[in-house]
């Protein structure tokens, strides 16, 4: 390139950084960071002079001395008005083009500097930079502008922020907050997006990372060589990736290039008005490595969700299992939209209620009559009240999770606020452990109104277990309640009772029955259900029409497309392939995927580290790979589409590779960037 312009690099530096004091003087493999940086800038082919500008205050004396002894040109100026320092150095040198760098970029790349200058000249632009749309790693920031641009900026800028941040008026990225000039801009972009990488020096962890880089590479290596070095040394790479977001350094009006910054901001807002920031424990921040996880969902489609920062995930949580067909299923939503136009709730019952009741009676073995509720807890609580009324007894035996109401939650560790007198009525027994049930009956003969259990789930019932429970109940005049809130419409269209051929007295359905619309059902024999007329189970939104229409459409589609078998077959493939991936990465003694094909689970085996730390790291890495996955694989018809399995396997493999490296590192805890997850309580 023919060059008839004087081009200078101006590095702005200061010593008094609050996060990392003295940062520009801290040593990177033996040399101060700023000297390392200048060594790299010197490789530029287009730059005539390199200047460091710093403030007048005494704290910067040491910096000025060190630079002086290395024969580096320094100019001091106003401590706050950094813009005026640029003017001063431009006047002194007579430069036509000024390249602005900040001293926190010790891996700055001379070739990127030259490309930015060339872009400015070739496009006849006023300002050129790679920060207009970030694609390069954070810490390789280069801005170039002409002396005319600088003069116009000084003439127009009067606020403190713009004077401190120098180029605000030129690039206009904060245009909603600060004045913006009318300049010709040129954006330097890489074809691949590396903007999530952090190569800047701003805090302690950055220093550790940069030191590791400097002590393992040629200090003058190009940024591409550094990148390839990091890719072949993934532990260094991960160390860098896990440096927390520096919220203060990012003007939130500018391009939002941090992966979870919007989620974190929304959480701060939500937690001011919403305890826990969520309506559901299992959807709240305590379940995810906060800081390194999405905390909200913005939208969903098929098997995928998108968080507020625009990150897409394959979702294996599915709203905690109501989604069985996929998000926004067209066949269901079409029915719902039609129903909206006919009224969502009426003053008298509608025909829709009997239509759905008749449908359930046809497909569920224990169903002769049906009542509807809005959620699973409605259904289980109504079933328990019904059983108590029917048997004229008070005690209940429980195995599994059955909802938030007093009668059940009394038996959990999170029972604050539940009267002791209620707690005394609920007894736990263990799934697949008949002795634990019979001993209760022995201790309290003729006292149990009901035995309620999830008939199957993450663990299948042992052969004969359900039958024996039924026999015990019959012998003792106790009603048997199947809680099929999860198993319903997933294991079999008629529920686990159909799958295993055991018919309970009462059963509860919910979750998947309406593909995400709030609906539950209590079903049972006519003799028992008739007593519903005597007990009090009555609610304003019972019979709400949208959910019933959704349920009719959902059940029809499950039947028509043989959804349950499709999901099971997807589950079988998933289990086989995921276990192979786990093995390939040497993690098979640590974790495995269970064999229940309609609801596979990531099972923890032996771990060299604390369980919660491991789960936190695992969720962080799964999220990073693009999988929203808790402990179970909640499946939907949308997952069975061809490419979802392929994408899942690739993402899972990426995560397992990282987890394996982390587990084998000296101190796995340093790789958890987010907060530890906290368990609500363990029921399964």
Q: Which residue, 206 or 544, is less far from ligand PLP as judged by CB?
A: 544
Residues in a beta bridge with 75: 53
Find out whether 20 and 203 touch, Cβ atoms under 8 Å: yes
Token pair, residue 9, equals: 């690099």
Residue of 483, 499, 544, 621 that binds ligand PLP (CB under 6 A): 483
Q: Name the segment binding ligand PLP (CB under 6 A); options: 371-379, 491-499, 543-551, 565-573.
A: 371-379
Minimum Å gap between C-beta 159 and ligand PLP is 52
Q: Name the segment binding ligand PLP (CB under 6 A); options: 373-381, 576-584, 619-627, 654-662.
A: 373-381
> Contact letters (x/-) for ligand PLP, 16-55, by CB under 6 A?
----------------------------------------
CB under 8 Å, gap of 24 or more: what pairs does 308-313 form?
308/262, 308/263, 308/266, 309/256, 309/258, 309/259, 309/260, 309/261, 309/262, 309/263, 311/259, 311/260, 311/626, 312/626, 313/623, 313/626, 313/627, 313/628
Q: Which residue, 109 or 483, is less far from ligand PLP as judged by CB?
A: 483
3-state SS class at 286: helix
Minimum Å gap between C-beta 377 and ligand PLP is 3
Minimum Å gap between C-beta 400 and ligand PLP is 6
Q: Which residue, 75 or 320, is less far from ligand PLP as judged by CB?
A: 320
Classify the phi-psi angles of 291: left when phi > 0, otherwise alpha if psi is within -120 to 50, otherwise beta: left
Minimum Å gap between C-beta 127 and ligand PLP is 55
Token pair, residue 318, equals: 């599915």
* Residue 486 binds ligand PLP (CB under 6 A): yes
- What is the maximum span of the chain, computed from C-alpha positions, in angstroms? 101
State the Cα–Cα distance between residues 84 and 72, nearest whole angstrom. 20
Give 523-583 as a 3 state SS string.
EECHHHHHHHHCCCCCCCCCCCHHHHHHHHHHHHHHHHCCHHHHHHHHHHHHHHHHHHHHH
Token pair, residue 23, equals: 């940062």
- Burial class, 524, CB count within 10 angstroms (exposed 0-12 / middle 13-18 / buried 19+): buried
Q: Which residue is nearest to ligand PLP (CB)?
A: 376
Q: Name the segment binding ligand PLP (CB under 6 A); options: 40-48, 303-311, 399-407, 492-500.
A: 399-407
Instruction: Write out the binding residues for ligand PLP, residues 144-183 only, by CB under 6 A.
Output: none
Residues in a beta bridge with 100: 10, 143
Find out whether 329 and 462 touch, Cβ atoms under 8 Å: no
Minimum Å gap between C-beta 455 and ligand PLP is 10
Q: Which residue, 99 or 317, is less far from ligand PLP as judged by CB?
A: 317
Minimum Å gap between C-beta 276 and ligand PLP is 15
* Residue 380 binds ligand PLP (CB under 6 A): yes
Instruction: Write out the binding residues for ligand PLP, residues 299-358 only, by CB under 6 A.
Output: 320
Residue of 110, 137, 172, 403 that binds ligand PLP (CB under 6 A): 403
Residue of 400, 524, 571, 630 that binds ligand PLP (CB under 6 A): 400
* Residue 476 binds ligand PLP (CB under 6 A): no
Minimum Å gap between C-beta 497 and ligand PLP is 14
Instruction: Write out the binding residues for ligand PLP, residues 570-629 only, by CB under 6 A.
Output: none
Token pair, residue 465, equals: 């277990």
Number of helices followed by number of strands (H, E) in the chain: 24, 22
Q: Which residue, 380 or 620, is less far from ligand PLP as judged by CB?
A: 380
Q: Which residue, 232 or 540, is less far from ligand PLP as judged by CB?
A: 540
Token pair, residue 310, equals: 């625009």
- What number of chain residues touch ligand PLP (CB under 6 A)? 14
State the Cα–Cα distance between residues 447 and 402, nearest whole angstrom. 20
* Residue 375 binds ligand PLP (CB under 6 A): yes
Q: Which residue, 60 or 377, is less far from ligand PLP as judged by CB?
A: 377
* Residue 402 binds ligand PLP (CB under 6 A): yes
Q: Which residue, 444 or 541, is less far from ligand PLP as judged by CB?
A: 541
403-419: burial string, b at 16+ Cβ within 10 Å, e else: bbbebbbbbbeebeebe
Minimum Å gap between C-beta 550 and ligand PLP is 15
User: How far is Cα of residue 38 from the mean position of the Cα atoms in its chain?
Assistant: 39
Q: How many other C-beta atoms can be found within 10 angstroms of the C-beta atom of residue 66?
A: 16
What DSSP state is assigned to residue 639?
G
| 355 Cβ contact list (under 8 Å, min separation 6) | 548, 552
Minimum Å gap between C-beta 483 and ligand PLP is 5
Minimum Å gap between C-beta 375 and ligand PLP is 3
Q: Which residue, 485 or 672, is less far from ligand PLP as judged by CB?
A: 485
Minimum Å gap between C-beta 458 and ligand PLP is 11
Minimum Å gap between C-beta 565 and ligand PLP is 23
Q: Which residue, 59 or 320, is less far from ligand PLP as judged by CB?
A: 320
* Residue 510 binds ligand PLP (CB under 6 A): yes
Q: Name the segment binding ligand PLP (CB under 6 A); options: 235-243, 374-382, 415-423, 424-432.
A: 374-382
Minimum Å gap between C-beta 504 and ligand PLP is 14
Q: Which residue, 89 or 480, is less far from ligand PLP as judged by CB?
A: 480
Residues in a beta bridge with 186: 128
Q: Which residue, 454 or 621, is less far from ligand PLP as judged by CB?
A: 454
Q: Which residue, 485 or 528, is less far from ligand PLP as judged by CB?
A: 485
Q: Which residue, 440 or 481, is less far from ligand PLP as judged by CB?
A: 481
For residue 150, CA distances in Å to 50, 92, 99, 153 come to: 18, 14, 11, 5
State the Cα–Cα distance between residues 323 and 326, nearest whole angstrom. 6
Q: Which residue, 329 or 454, is less far from ligand PLP as judged by CB?
A: 454
Q: How many other C-beta atoms can be found within 10 angstroms of the C-beta atom of residue 357?
A: 18
Using DSSP bridges, classify how beta strands 426-428 and 395-399 pair: parallel, antiparallel or unpaired: parallel
Minimum Å gap between C-beta 344 and ligand PLP is 20
The closest of 529, 532, 521, 527 to 379, measured between CA atoms, is 521
> Contact letters (x/-) for ligand PLP, 417-456, by CB under 6 A?
-------------------------------------x--
Q: Which residue, 326 or 403, is less far from ligand PLP as judged by CB?
A: 403
Q: How many other C-beta atoms can be found within 10 angstroms of the C-beta atom of residue 609?
A: 14
Minimum Å gap between C-beta 630 and ligand PLP is 12
| 479 Cβ contact list (under 8 Å, min separation 6) | 387, 390, 391, 449, 450, 451, 473, 505, 506, 528
List of residues contacting ligand PLP (CB under 6 A) = 320, 375-377, 380, 400-403, 454, 483, 485-486, 510
């Amino acid at each position: 390139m023919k060059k008839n312009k004087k081009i200078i690099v101006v590095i702005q530096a200061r010593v008094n950084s609050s996060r990392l004091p003295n940062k520009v003087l801290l040593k990177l493999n033996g040399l101060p960071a700023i000297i390392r940086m200048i060594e790299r800038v010197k490789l530029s082919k287009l730059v005539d002079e390199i200047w460091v500008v710093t403030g007048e205050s005494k704290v910067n004396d040491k910096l000025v001395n060190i630079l002086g002894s290395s024969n580096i040109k320094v100019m001091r100026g106003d401590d706050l008005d950094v813009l005026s320092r640029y003017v001063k150095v431009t006047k002194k040198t007579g430069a036509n083009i000024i390249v602005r760098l900040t001293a926190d970029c010790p891996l700055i790349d001379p070739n990127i500097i030259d490309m930015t200058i060339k872009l400015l000249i070739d496009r006849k632009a006023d300002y050129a930079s790679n920060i207009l749309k970030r694609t390069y790693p954070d810490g390789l920031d280069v801005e170039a502008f002409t002396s005319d641009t600088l003069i116009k900026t000084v003439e127009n800028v009067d606020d403190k922020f713009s004077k401190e941040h120098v180029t605000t008026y030129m690039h206009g990225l904060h245009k909603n907050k600060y004045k913006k000039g009318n300049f010709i801009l040129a954006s330097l972009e890489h074809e691949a997006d590396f903007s999530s990488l952090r190569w800047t020096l701003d805090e302690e962890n950055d220093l550790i990372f940069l030191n590791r880089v400097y002590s393992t590479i040629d200090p003058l290596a190009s940024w591409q060589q550094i990148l390839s070095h990091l890719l072949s040394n993934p532990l260094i790479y991960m160390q860098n990736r896990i440096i927390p977001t520096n919220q203060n350094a990012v003007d939130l009006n500018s391009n939002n290039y941090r992966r979870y910054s919007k989620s974190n901001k929304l959480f701060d807002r939500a937690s001011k008005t919403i305890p826990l920031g969520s309506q559901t424990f299992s959807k709240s921040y305590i379940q995810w490595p906060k800081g390194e996880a999405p905390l909200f969902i913005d939208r969903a489609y098929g098997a995928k969700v998108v968080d507020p920062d625009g990150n897409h995930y394959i979702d294996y949580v599915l709203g905690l299992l109501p989604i069985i067909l996929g998000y926004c299923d067209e066949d269901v939503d079409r029915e719902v939209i039609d129903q909206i136009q006919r009224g969502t709730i009426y003053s008298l019952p509608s025909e829709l209620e009997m239509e759905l009741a008749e449908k359930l009676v046809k497909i569920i073995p224990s169903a002769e009559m049906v009542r509807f509720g809005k959620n699973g807890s409605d259904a289980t609580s109504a079933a328990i009240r019904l059983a108590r009324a029917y048997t004229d007894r008070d005690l209940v035996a429980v195995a599994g999770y059955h909802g938030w109401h007093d009668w059940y939650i009394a038996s959990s560790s999170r029972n604050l606020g539940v009267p002791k007198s209620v707690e005394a009525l609920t007894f736990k027994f263990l799934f697949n452990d008949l002795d634990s049930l019979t001993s209760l009956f022995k201790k309290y003969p003729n006292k149990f109104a009901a035995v309620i259990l999830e008939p199957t789930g993450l663990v299948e019932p042992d052969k004969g277990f359900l039958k024996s429970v039924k026999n015990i109940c019959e012998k003792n005049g106790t009603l048997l309640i199947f809680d099929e809130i999860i198993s319903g419409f997933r294991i079999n269209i008629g529920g686990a009772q159909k799958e295993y051929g055991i018919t309970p007295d009462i059963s509860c359905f919910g979750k998947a029955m309406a593909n995400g619309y709030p609906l539950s059902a209590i079903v049972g024999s006519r003799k028992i259900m008739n007593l519903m007329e005597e007990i009090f189970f009555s609610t304003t939104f019972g019979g709400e029409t949208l959910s019933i229409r959704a349920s009719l459409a959902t059940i029809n589609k499950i039947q028509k497309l043989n959804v349950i078998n499709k999901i099971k077959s997807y589950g079988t493939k998933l289990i086989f392939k995921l276990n192979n991936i786990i093995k390939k990465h040497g993690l098979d003694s640590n974790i495995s995927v269970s064999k229940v094909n309609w609801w596979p689970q990531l099972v923890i085996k032996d771990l060299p580290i604390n369980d919660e730390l491991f789960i936190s790291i695992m969720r962080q890495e799964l999220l990073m790979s693009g999988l929203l996955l808790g402990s179970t694989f909640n499946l939907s018809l949308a997952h069975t589409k061809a490419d979802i399995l392929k994408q899942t396997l690739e993402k899972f493999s990426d995560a397992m590779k990282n987890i394996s490296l982390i587990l084998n590192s000296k101190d796995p805890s340093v790789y958890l960037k987010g907060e530890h997850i906290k368990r609500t309580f363990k029921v399964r």
